[in-house]
Structure formats: C-alpha cells, structure tokens
Chains A and B, each alone.
Chain A
Amino acid sequence: MSDQTTCGVPAGEEMLRVKDLETQFRVDEGVVRAVNGVSYSLREREIIGIVGESGCGKSVSQLSIMQLLQRPGKIVGGEVWFEGQNLLEYGPKSAEMRAIRGGKISMIFQEPMTSLNPVLTIGRQLTESLELHLGMNKKEARARATQLLDLVGIPSPASRLDDYPHQFSGGMRQRVMIAIGVACQPKMVIADEPTTALDCTTQAQLLELMLSTIDACKGSLVLVTHNLGVVARYSQRIYIMYAGKIVEQGLCRDIFYRPRHPYTVGLLKSVPRLDEVRGHRLVPIVGTPPNLIDLPPTCAFYPRCSERTERCLTEPWPDLTAADGEGHLVRCYNPAERTGE
C-alpha cells in the first residue's frame, strides 16, 4: 500500500557512516559480542530502519554511536564518521562528544515511564538541553519549551511545564521525550523502540508525530525496532540485524518483496501484512535468539535456519554480498531465490 510513497530512492548527502563497529560486554561468563562488525550509513533527511529481535544488538549499536554504554560495555573497534569526524576518537565524556549528544544527534528511548527524571519538572528537563546547546537564557528556554510541548500536542503547555513526570500518562511522557529529542533541532534522531510500551492507537499517533516533528526540523531518523510493520511504513532503507551482525540490507521494497536471507523471510512471515491474500497463516520463527557469549564463527542463525547447508557449518559466517537491487546485500551461503508468493 505504501510502496510508492515511502520506499522511494533516498536523496541527500551521506551524513553518518558507521564502519565495522564492535561492542562487547565482559561478564563473568565470558565476552558478550553484542555488536560484531556492523556497518551502515544514513543520508540527510533519510529514515532508515534497524530491525531485529530483542537482544540482537540493535540498541547497543545505537548507544555505542552516542558513546552512552554502561559498564561493562565497551567499544572495541570500528569507526563512526559524522560530519567528517570519527566520533569514536572523542572520549565518552569529552566536550566534543557532549556537543554532539543532544545537540546534533539525539536519542528517544523506549521506556517513557522510566526515562524521565521523577524529581525534576518537565520544564527543567526540556530547558536544560536548550540552555546547554542553544545558549538560551532561562526565559527564552522556557518559551521554547512551551512551544515544544505544544508541538508534540500537549494541551495547555505553559501550565504543564511545572508538572512532574508522574502527573503525565505514558503516552504524554513519550510526547515529552519526543519534545526533548527534537528540542535542539538535531541533524539526526535515533529512536529506540519509541512506541513499544504504548498501546496500538497511541503508537501510530506518536510515530506520525515523531516523523512530522523530525521532518519539520529537517533531520534524519534511525528507527530501531523489532516491528517490521513500523519500518515498512516509514523508512527508506532497512538493515536486518541478527546476533550482532547485519544479515541483510537494502531498500525497503527489496527487503519486503525480494528478501534473500532466511531470517528476513522468517521475520516477514511472522508479521501480518495488509497486502497479503487473506487466509495467509502467520508463521513464527522457531527457536530463540542465540546466546551472544562465545558465538561460533559460523552462521549464528544456523540452528533456526530452514535453508541451512553443510557449508554453513564448515565455513565461517559469509560476508555481505550483493543481491539484485540497489544496495541490496545479504549474508548467506544459500539465500532464498525469490520468496514473494
């Protein structure tokens, strides 16, 4: 239904390029390779989707870019090029990195109930980034904060600035999070499962709201989600992640109509699609995501794979190789030929 409108070929200059990012967590049981050589890019005013089951490393990869990892998480390799600068050369607490965070790249988190500080007013939590990055004084920041709350659809915004988070509903809090995310008109917003915690109708409303506000400030968006339906609707390009690696990437329409990786195929089968013939059965992917500790060098999807071959066990996980379609890459020895029914 949305083929022409949202899966168009992206335009604009490339603004972010992540190369071979590797992030690990050292725990008692071993090393968790949460992000294991991930590369992707983002252009100006583009929306990309990063999709995978929970625990596949999609959130960690985004926290790594912002250098917001909590111990014992550690970036062990890779580059993050943003505006001609490798961000990983900056220290996590450096002034340069702080100027990027919230100013040029901002993040909207998935838990609206816990992502706002319970002892500070909504106004304070909005104005602090405005004062910091835009150099506003208290009065200006307050006026701008009122505008922002209005923008995200909070009624009587001026009076609600002095309220505390617990006086807001979940959906309202997520609106506030969006307002905080776009407060300084960042070039890029990372939305980590922005609507998962909300009910369906609110989800749709908030996604639309988020996109329109980001569009209004001419920013790009990285949409991190496990929900293919959401990315299908809004993003131009899609990256599918599994066990810390990107297993398939390409334009939205290629991923949806010509998926090559068995995991992508499985994901597509497990979500309801409006353009499918009625009576099509949803098929869940069997098994659970792998434990990321001490992964074998071979394909991590092997145990759950329907297309596995001898080669998958004897040879290491293959590189991303070109498939048909612009920028369509897949990491599989035995990719599906054409799965569109």
Chain B
Amino acid sequence: MVTYIIRRILMGILVLILVSLVVFFALRLLPGDPALIYVSGQSGGQGVTEERLQEVRKEFGLDKPIPVQYWNWVKGVVTGDLGTSIRYQQDVGKLFAQRFPVTLILGFFSVIVSTILGIFFGLVAAIRRGGWIDTLVTFLSYIGLTIPVFLLAFVLIYVLGFKLHWLPIVGWTPPWKDFGMSVKQSIMPVICLATIPLAVTARQMRSSVLEVNNMDYIRTAWSKGLRERVIVTRHILKNSLIPVVTMVGIGVGIIFGGAVIEETIFGIAGVGQLLATSVFARDYVVIQGGALVIATIIVVVNIIVDISYGGLDPRIRYE
C-alpha cells in the first residue's frame, strides 16, 4: 500500500511538471510577443515603442533563454508568485485569493450533491432494473449529459427567478456574511454545476451495480438467506463504488469547466468568471495561473481518489 501511494504521488508530480510545461510553453512558443501583448494591453494600444518593449522584456526576464525563463517562472509559482495581471495591474495570487474560495465553496457542495445523489439514483435504478425508476433515471441522466449548462441556468432563472420570484437571480454572498441569503443564492449555481457530474455518476453507478449484481459472490450472499437490504449495503455497494470513485475526479474537472459559464451567468465573482473575462482582455497571466491552479487541484484530487481505492479494494491495499 505504501509503495502504491508513493508511486501514485510520484506519477502525480510528473504530470504536474508536464502541466506547468504546457501552461508555460502555450504562451511562449505560440505566435505573439508577450511583451507586445503586455505593453499594448497596459496602454490601450498606444505608446508601443521598441524601448518600452525592451524595458518590459528586461523587467519580466523575457530576454533570457527559454529554459531560464521557465525555471524563474516555476520558482515564482512555487513561492506563490503567479505574476501580475495585465488587466487589473494586480498580483495574480491576490486576485485568486479573493476568488478561489467562492468557486471552491460552490464546487465543493456540487461535488457532494452530485456524488451522493448520483450514487443513490444509480443504485436504485440498477436494483429496480426495468422499473419506472430505472427508466426515469436513465432518461434524466441522458438529459443531464446533454443539457448545456447555460440552458439549465436559463430554465432555473426563468422559472424560479422571473416567474416564481423564489430565488435571487444574480450575485453571491459568502455564508459568513448572510447565511440565509448565501443558501438562496447558492441553490441555482449548485444545481447547474452538479447536474452533469450527477448524470455521469448515476450512469456509471448503475452499470457498475448491474455488473456486480451478476457476480457469483452476490449469488453466494443470496444463498445465505440475507435480506435484500443487507445484500445491497454490505455486498453490492462497496464493490460497485470502486469504479464510481474515479467519477469524483472527473466530476471535479467538469465542475471547474462548468464554473466558467455558471459564474458568468449568475454574476458570481469566482475564478471561473475571472478566467472568462480575462480571455476577453487577453490577460494571459491570469489565464496561465488559473489553468495551472485548476489542473493542480484536479491532479491532487485524482491522487486522493486513487489512494482511496485502497480503502475500498483490499486487492490494491495489499499489493
């Protein structure tokens, strides 16, 4: 188990190094002079002179060889220095510090909701295979997989906001400032974020339970005279969760992707909205930092997921 964890963590570190290379070279090797983008972004297209460009290049170390630039950049990233935003003229780390908590809180609840409900619905559908619940869950999961996040948001806003006036349409308040308001403002965003991973998890869980249900050891369990509830909770659930745990890692990715849209629609000042508006402004420093941080979170979540496999599956634990 220890060697398994160590191997998994080393693999994760390797992927993280590669992620940083992708993020770095995406901006350095592709057409477009970062200094030019910086200068023109700063001054609104005016004052772009060769001297100014040289100045900026020197300031940001752009005149050094690429490997040195990469090394300096990594050194900065590790110490929390993600550079200065072109648009906000502010430390990117500080920008993220304000906005990541918002995204993470909403994302966390979305992961919880989608995982728990997905496992539950998938399980029930599989156990009552062919019944109306199964048909309903299967159909809804198809919808969930294909509905654009913004369509879901439109429906929610139109019905719950404009027609019924139940929930506020824009903005988000942290729970420590106004708990009631925060809950109200979180409902629609969390539904938007959780729907796709919920559908993915439910589908995976359903097919996983159906597969486990056909195993010889489930027949053995029935032959012991156990109650159906015991068979499901003790014998089926743990076995079928093993492939579903992977979905948590995938779900986190989907949720970060969805946050870009969801935060833009609901006017929530999180990382997703920051990234969307930064692309508009071609504020590549922010995008670079955002992509790096998000990919890091996803890699770390996947490591945790893989390690928690060991907790579910003794065959891995003892390898």
A residues adjacent to B (C-beta < 8 A)? 66, 68, 70-71, 93, 97-103, 106-107, 109, 111, 114-120, 128-129, 132-133, 164, 166-167, 177, 180
Instruction: Please choose the segment from B99-107, B146-154, B160-168, B210-218 that sits at the chain A interface, where 4 or more of its residues have CB less than 8 A away.
Output: B210-218
B214 partner residues in chain A, CB cutoff 8 A:
70
If A107-B223, A164-B318 are given as contacts, then 7 extra A-B residue pairs at C-beta distance below 8 Å, sorted by A number, are A68-B223, A100-B225, A109-B216, A114-B217, A118-B217, A119-B312, A166-B314
Question: How far does the alpha carbon of A109 sit from the alpha carbon of B239 in the complex, in Å?
Answer: 20
Asked whether B227 lies within 8 Å of A120 as measured between CB atoms, the reply is no
Checking B220, B225, B239, B313 against A98 with a beta-carbon cut-off of 8 angstroms, the contacting residue is B225
Asked whether A118 lies within 8 Å of B315 as measured between CB atoms, the reply is yes
Chain A nearest CB from B218 CB (Å) reads 8
B313 partner residues in chain A, CB cutoff 8 A:
118-119
B318 partner residues in chain A, CB cutoff 8 A:
164, 166-167
The 7 closest A-B pairs by CB, nearest first: A101-B225, A102-B224, A102-B225, A114-B216, A98-B225, A164-B314, A117-B217
Chain B nearest CB from A193 CB (Å) reads 12
Q: Say whether, besides A164-B315, A166-B314, A119 and B239 are in contact (CB < 8 Å).
A: yes
Q: Say whether, besides A119-B314, A167-B318, A114 and B215 are in contact (CB < 8 Å).
A: yes
Question: How far does the alpha carbon of A115 sit from the alpha carbon of B224 in the complex, in Å?
Answer: 12
Chain B nearest CB from A274 CB (Å) reads 34
Question: How far does the alpha carbon of A109 sit from the alpha carbon of B219 in the complex, in Å?
Answer: 9
Closest B residue by C-beta to A107: B223
**18 A–B contacts, CB within 8 A, in A order:** A68-B219, A70-B214, A97-B225, A98-B227, A101-B222, A101-B223, A101-B225, A106-B224, A109-B216, A109-B223, A114-B217, A115-B216, A117-B217, A117-B221, A118-B315, A132-B224, A164-B314, A166-B314
Chain A nearest CB from B42 CB (Å) reads 59
Chain A nearest CB from B130 CB (Å) reads 8
Question: How far does the alpha carbon of A118 sit from the alpha carbon of B238 in the complex, in Å?
Answer: 10
Chain A nearest CB from B14 CB (Å) reads 29
Asked whether A98 lies within 8 Å of B217 as measured between CB atoms, the reply is no
A111 partner residues in chain B, CB cutoff 8 A:
216
Q: Is residue B33 contacting chain A, with contact meaning CB distance below 8 A?
A: no
Q: Is residue B116 contacting chain A, with contact meaning CB distance below 8 A?
A: no
Q: Is residue B63 contacting chain A, with contact meaning CB distance below 8 A?
A: no
A166 partner residues in chain B, CB cutoff 8 A:
314-315, 318
Asked whether B223 lies within 8 Å of A117 as measured between CB atoms, the reply is no
Chain A nearest CB from B234 CB (Å) reads 7
Asked whether B315 lies within 8 Å of A103 as measured between CB atoms, the reply is no
A103 partner residues in chain B, CB cutoff 8 A:
225
Question: How far does the alpha carbon of A111 sit from the alpha carbon of B214 in the complex, in Å?
Answer: 14
A99 partner residues in chain B, CB cutoff 8 A:
225
Q: Say whether, besides A118-B314, A119-B314, A166-B318, A128 and B219 are in contact (CB < 8 Å).
A: no
